[in-house]
Structure 1
Amino acid sequence: MVRSMTGYGSETFHRGDMTLTVEIRTVNSRFLDFIAKIPRSLYELEIEFKKIIQTYFERGRVELYISAKGSLLEERSLYVDWDLMDEFFKQLGSVKERYDLKGDIPISIITAMDELFQIKEEKRADDAIHQFILNSVEEVAKQVQRSRETEGAFIMKDILKRLENVEADVERIDEMKELVHSAYHERIKERIEAHLEDNSSVDQNHLLQEIAILAEKSDITEEITRLFSHLEHFKQTAAQSGAIGRKLDFIIQEMHRETNTIGAKSADASISELVVQIKSNLEKMKEQVQNIE
């Protein structure tokens, strides 16, 4: 199944008082790039997350976002520095006595002092919870993979349609090549004879050999044969599963190379027009292939 490199998936999972939201986004990239944006309490699972991503994706930039709420991952407790609190009130009482201050101490003064209070977070090493999180990430990865397969199918449909157009144009060039080659051979002969018509000492056999050599340089049979081979190779590769995007991109480059050679060799206007059409379709195919995994 052909897959696009663009995909998205998101799901919210619940377990006890914990709410877990997992989101995965994928975009184009030459290789597999994994970016994890997760809570600190899940850092120890990052390697496991990466293994899951590598199982389902071979190319593309994959961004994993996880947010977790609840007490199943970590336990929070409030710590009060009682020694510092006693010293604070002792010194505050001394200030009141020294300056003869009246009135009660407002609670807001105490709560404003961050030094007196500290929130401690302790991780809960629960294998069952960790497995629940890993299963949740895998579920969203499957969702993203399905979306990439759906988009990949649409992209490949367009690519294969353009491939049909390219093949049809190559077949037309193949049908025309003999006639064009013969006409080119005659044009060369006529031009040379026109320049040498007053020179009766020219060796006709040698002249014909030179004409044949020039005509041979304009022969596009080999390029057409290789183009047909590339077209068949493209179809076979497109039918494969896995990461085929880079292979298809290389084949398109080779088809582009042969097409350029045909355009450079042929002086026929009809073939030149077909070459332009082929190159246009190949360019659009290349753009689409850039998004194939």
Structure 2
Amino acid sequence: MTGFGAGTASNGTLSVTIEMRSVNQRFLELNIRMPHAYLALEDVIRKGIKDVLLRGKVDVFVTVQELETQAPQVRIDYAALAACRQAVAEAKDKLFDHEPPRLSEIISLNSDWFIQEQPVVDIDACRPIFEESLHKALEGMTAMREAEGKQISIDLLRRAAKMSELIESIASRRDIILRQYEERLRRRIVSLFEKASSVPDQDRLLEEVAIYADKVDFTEEIVRFRSHVVQLKGFLEEHDAVGRKLDFLIQEMNRETNTIGSKAQDLAVTEAVLQLKNEIEKIREQVQNIE
């Protein structure tokens, strides 16, 4: 589902803002961007999101603001400093006044031995702030996705009602189709016997007609499709994740529809089947937005 959520938390020395944007996707994909110094907390964010969201491509942006500036850590690379001092001393001995080099002279030439590092981040102290910010962002995201889910549910229920109408219109054609098929089959068999100059056994004729007529009877598919519609409505009333259940159910609906279309060989049924497949495809697109 699409959605947006943002949350900010602070402990007086650190302020953390987490923004989340999601778009539709069959599986869950997380793209987290955060300051390098706090990468150790990425797993906290990733796990927190996975505990709540099951589907969607989610972009996460983490902004950290230090409310109290911490002094950087400074250290001296004495080996590098000694090497610089030695080089300056040798140059003086050979070319200049032979006086020992001074620190100011070395600094003016090279300062690579003077190393300034960012202060070490206390990950354990930062964790609660990140978790609180993430919780707020997920609340906003979930509220938006739930609102979208309600609208999707309304649309799916409307399409389910339409499919029920179509499947009943197909069911109403069953007896007519069977009678037409049996009559065509009977005439064909009789014609074959006439060409062979023989008289068909009536019992055998009825048995053959019944066997072949059974192959075009789509009663079982109608019954299963009705059951699928009931299941669809039931899933939409659940509060748990039903996206994958609906995925499977739509596949079964599509399979039953294809079977009906191949069996019926009737213009009215074919038109209804095409409408059914259109509704199923619309539902399939919507289902991709449902967890």
- How would you bin the TM-score normalised by the shorter chain? 0.7 to 0.9
1:219 maps to which of 201, 217, 220: 217
Counterpart of 1:242 in structure 2 is 240
> Following TM superposition, by how much is the alpha carbon of 1:221 offset from its aligned partner in structure 2, in angstroms?
0.8
Matches within 5 A, 1:32-47: 32-47=28-43
CA 1:74 to 1:245, structure 2 compared with 1: closer, same or farther past 3 Å? farther
- Paired position in structure 2 for 1:139: 136
Q: CA distance change for structure 1 residues 257 and 83 in 2, over 3 Å: closer, same or farther?
A: closer
Matched residue SS, 1:57: coil
More displaced, 248-257 or 160-169? 160-169
Q: What TM-score do you get using the length of structure 1 for normalisation?
A: 0.82
Q: Which segments of 5 or more consecutive residues in structure 2 lack a partner in the other structure?
A: 98-103
> Are the aligned partners of 2:193 and 2:199 in contact in 1 as well (CA < 8 Å)?
no
Q: Distance in 2 between matches of 1:46 and 1:270?
A: 58
- Shift, 1:146, TM fit: 1.4
Say if 2:118 is the partner of 1:121.
Answer: yes
CA distances 1:231-290 after superposition (whole Å, capped 9, x unpaired) = 111111121112111100101110111111111111111111111111111112112212
- Say which is worse superposed, 70-79 or 249-258, in terms of deviation: 70-79
Is this contact kept in 1: 2:8–2:16, CA < 8 A? Answer: yes
Q: Which residue of 2 aligns with 1:65?
A: 61
Candidates 138, 151, 154, aligned match of 1:154: 151
List alignment gaps of at least 5 residues for structure 1: 102-106
Mean Cα displacement is larger for which, 34-43 or 220-229? Answer: 34-43
Match of 1:265 in 2: 263
**Is the CA contact 1:36–1:46 (under 8 Å) kept in the aligned structure 2?**
yes
TM-score normalised by structure 2 residue count = 0.82
Task: Determine the C-alpha separation between the residues in 1 that align with 2:3 and 2:109.
Answer: 47
- Residue 72 of structure 1 contacts residue 129 of structure 1 at CA under 8 Å; is this kept in 2? no
Which residue is equivalent to 2:52?
A: 56
The Cα of 1:37 is off from its aligned counterpart by 3.1
**Equivalent residues of 1:41, 1:74 under 8 A apart:** no
1:286 equivalent to 2:268? Answer no
CA distance in 2, matches of 1:116, 1:250: 65
Distance 2:72 2:280 in 1: 60
Identity %: 34
Asked if 1:166 is matched to 2:201, the reply is no
Letter in 2 for 1:10: A
